């Protein structure tokens, strides 16, 4: 009896873990075409909405961006069709008082773009981005920057904000515990080639069992330099780096600020080189019924049976005659390379995540760069790098 009770308890625990990921996994329960049918974009079958934005950009309220008015950033974001925007001024440049600087700037307003309440939490142990769907007391986060990590994590939870680690491997590397953050900047600025270290940090965190969202951020500081000295200084960033280089797409349940933040926390996130680049979407069919029942960010118990994964590129700027290279990363290592064409921009692969181990899969896509007419030259900084998905997870602890 005792053995049976243990087995039953284990089964019960198993079913609880399967049924309680952060997001429902069976998101495509209805209206999916039959196996083998040519599939329309999956997003149209679900109740969510893809929304794009930039999560890291500096305005004139940062002392190193004094020539970048809020209105100029907002109007470019509106022109290129951004859905949301995070202006992240350095909080230490205003002694933590973001609330009476960036957020009360008369130009901090848009009828088209959802402006989030954000700041770059700038400390001598590294930088983070605070992200909120509503105003919050940023001064409190600034004031605990030199406290122990447990105090900072509790302050973040008290404030009800999303905290993200910025450029984790850089001159201002993030040296706090990653247990206090909800996401990590894995693609900082248009210069993709500088992000190898950030990706390495991310894969290490994913291997540790954390489901930590990877996101982008242009970290753009200047439209044009104020002075010749700025133009030649190491901290000056080329004008080719601007709103949306890269662009972070989130799959939000509704077109609201809170849904954007929730999607970011839940890993329903895809990063693209610029606002016009194709978006990579990544799905899985866990139960083999031919319908995709997971998307990036989702976590499920592995059954030990094969899982079919689908990668698709979406957007009006796919080049029909071009070929795109998809690198599949499994548990931090190279798993497969797929080639897809612009004419039929999707591919599938199959693998069997072990029933008794944690496993994650994510994809990176390269191909011809997409022009960004408002920011000419950004293509040459991002090169052939087009997009990056968040992982699909198996057997990750939902509480971690
Ligand atoms: Zn920074
Ligand atoms: Zn920054």
Q: At 229, which CATH number?
A: 3.20.20.140
Q: How confident is the model at residue 333 (pLDDT cuts 50, 70, 90)?
A: very high
Domain of 75?
49-272
Dihedrals phi, psi of 205, to nearest 5 degrees: -65, -40
- Cα-to-centroid distance, 198 and ligand 1 (Å): 13
Least confident of 43-52, 88-97, 228-237: 228-237
- Cα-to-centroid distance, 87 and ligand 1 (Å): 13
- Cα-to-centroid distance, 261 and ligand 1 (Å): 20
The CATH code of the domain that includes 364 is 2.60.40.10
State whether 162 and 252 are in the same domain: yes
How much is the pLDDT for 225?
A: 57
Going by C-alpha positions, the residue among 381, 324, 378 that lies closest to residue 193 is 381
Which of 216, 251, 272 is at the close of a domain?
Answer: 272
Q: Which residues have beta carbons under 5 A from ligand 2 (an ion)? A: 120, 219
Work out the burial of residue 137: count CB atoms within 10 Å of its CB; fewer than 13 is exposed, 13-18 middle, 19 or more buried: middle
Asked whether residue 399 is domain-assigned, the answer is: no
State whether 324 and 255 are in the same domain: no
State whether 362 and 298 are in the same domain: yes
- Cα-to-centroid distance, 249 and ligand 1 (Å): 21
Number of folded domains in the chain? 2
Which of 242, 272, 302 is at the close of a domain?
Answer: 272
State whether 55 and 167 are in the same domain: yes
Contact of 108 with 87, CB cutoff 8 Å: yes
Which of 246, 272, 298 is at the close of a domain?
Answer: 272
State whether 253 and 309 are in the same domain: no
Contact of 23 with 297, CB cutoff 8 Å: yes
- Cα-to-centroid distance, 122 and ligand 1 (Å): 7
- Give SS3 for 277: coil
pLDDT digits (tens, 9 = 90+) for 168-188: 998 889 999 999 999 999 999
CA–CA separation, 200 and 202 (whole Å):
5
State whether 178 and 317 are in the same domain: no
DSSP output for 16-70: HHHH--SS-S-TT-SSPPPTTSPPPPGGGGSS-EEEEEEEEE--TTSGGGTT--H
Q: Give me the residue label for tokens 């040296």.
A: 175
The mean pLDDT of 123-134, rounded to a whole number, is 97
Dihedrals phi, psi of 38, to nearest 5 degrees: -70, 125
Q: How confident is the model at residue 46 (pLDDT cuts 50, 70, 90)?
A: low
As a whole-number percent, the residues of the chain with pLDDT over 90 amount to 72
| pTM: predicted TM-score of the whole model, two decimal places | 0.86
State whether 379 and 238 are in the same domain: no
State whether 93 and 189 are in the same domain: yes
What average pLDDT does the chain have?
A: 87
Asked whether residue 216 is domain-assigned, the answer is: yes
The mean pLDDT of 30-51, rounded to a whole number, is 51
């Amino acid at each position: 009896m005792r053995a049976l009770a243990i087995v039953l308890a284990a089964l019960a625990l198993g079913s609880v873990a399967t049924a309680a990921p952060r997001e429902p996994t069976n998101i495509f329960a209805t209206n999916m075409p039959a196996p083998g049918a040519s599939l329309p974009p999956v997003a149209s079958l679900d109740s969510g909405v893809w929304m794009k934005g930039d999560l890291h950009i500096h305005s004139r309220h940062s002392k190193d961006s004094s020539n970048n008015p809020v209105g100029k950033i907002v109007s470019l974001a509106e022109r290129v069709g951004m859905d949301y925007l995070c202006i992240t001024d350095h909080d230490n440049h205003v002694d933590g008082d973001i609330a009476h600087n960036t957020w009360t700037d008369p130009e901090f307003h848009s009828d088209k773009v959802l402006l989030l309440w954000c700041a770059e939490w700038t400390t001598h142990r590294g930088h983070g981005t605070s992200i909120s769907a509503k105003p919050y007391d940023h001064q409190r986060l600034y004031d605990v920057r030199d406290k122990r990590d447990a105090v900072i994590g509790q302050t973040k939870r008290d404030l009800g904000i999303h905290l993200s680690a910025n450029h984790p491997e850089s001159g201002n590397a993030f040296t706090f515990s990653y247990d206090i953050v909800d996401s990590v900047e894995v693609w900082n600025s248009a210069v993709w080639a500088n992000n190898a270290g950030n990706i390495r940090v991310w894969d290490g965190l994913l291997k540790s069992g954390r489901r930590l969202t990877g996101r982008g951020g242009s970290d753009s500081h200047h439209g044009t330099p104020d002075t010749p000295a700025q133009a030649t200084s190491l901290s000056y960033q080329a004008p080719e780096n601007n709103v949306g280089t890269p662009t972070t797409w989130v799959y939000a349940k509704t077109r609201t600020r809170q849904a954007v933040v929730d999607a970011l926390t839940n890993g329903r996130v895809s990063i693209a080189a610029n606002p016009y680049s194709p978006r990579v979407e990544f799905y899985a069919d866990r139960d083999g019924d031919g319908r995709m029942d997971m998307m990036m960010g989702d976590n499920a118990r592995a059954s030990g049976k094969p899982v079919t994964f689908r990668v698709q590129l979406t957007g009006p700027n796919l080049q029909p005659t071009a070929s795109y290279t998809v690198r599949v990363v499994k548990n931090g290592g190279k798993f497969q390379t797929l080639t897809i064409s612009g004419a039929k921009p999707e591919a599938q692969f199959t693998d069997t995540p072990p029933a008794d181990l944690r496993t994650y899969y994510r994809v990176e896509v390269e191909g011809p760069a997409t022009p960004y007419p408002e920011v000419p030259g950004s293509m040459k900084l991002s090169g052939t790098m087009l997009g990056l998905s968040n992982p699909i997870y198996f057997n990750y602890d939902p509480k971690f």
